[in-house]
Amino acid sequence: MSYGRVERKLPCDRRALRSNRDGWELTTTVNAPSGRYGPTAVSTGSEMIVWGGSDTVGYTATGARYNATNDVWISTSMMGAPMGRYGHTAVWTGHEMIVWGGTNTYLLSTGARYNQRVTRGHRQLLRTA
């Protein structure tokens, strides 16, 4: 009861409320990568990049970036991506994701760098000498 006082509801930022809660919240599955075993994931600070692994068809050379602020998945380009694999290593350098090694029937000594800012999908293949 306000007894004549005008109460105002202030607009709130749903993201701020979400970040203060302790619990799980489902993410969208629209454009999410297929279910898979053994992918890698790195955090860029604003997005999570998931790549590779193995699904019911075989070894995947696909991935996606997830933006939690907007709850959206964006597929990574397959142009220049390394061959599909699982059990590989991935690191975030501060500006690109580097994928190395793993297996797809054979042990792999190849990898690639992914940088979503360079023409949105340019990758440089890394190989052993």
Report whether 50 contacts 92 (CB < 8 A): no
Q: Identity (one letter) of the amino acid at 46?
A: S
We report the CATH number of the domain holding residue 77 as 2.120.10.80
Query: Whole-model pTM?
Result: 0.75
Structural domains in the chain (count): 1
Q: Is the pLDDT of residue 120 over 90?
A: no
69 domain residue, yes or no: yes
85 domain residue, yes or no: yes
Q: Which two structure tokens, joined as six digits, stand for 3?
A: 């007894």
7 domain residue, yes or no: no
Strand segments, DSSP code E, in 1-129 are 40-43, 48-51, 63-67, 72-75, 89-92, 97-100, 110-114, 123-127
Least confident of 1-10, 81-90, 111-120: 1-10
- pLDDT at position 22 is 79
- Per residue in 8-53, pLDDT (tens digit) is 443 434 444 445 567 888 999 999 999 999 999 999 999 999 999 9
Instruction: Tell me what the mean pLDDT of segment 59-85 comes to.
Output: 94
Q: Which two structure tokens, joined as six digits, stand for 65?
A: 């970036």
Q: Which two structure tokens, joined as six digits, stand for 47?
A: 């997005």
Helix (H) or strand (E) holding 14: helix 14-19
1 domain residue, yes or no: no
Task: In whole angstroms, give the CA distance from residue 35 to residue 61.
Answer: 13
Looking at the DSSP assignment, which residues form a beta bridge with residue 86?
Answer: 103
2 domain residue, yes or no: no
Can you give the residue range of the structural domain that contains 121?
A: 14-127
Task: In whole angstroms, give the CA distance from residue 48 to residue 70.
Answer: 12
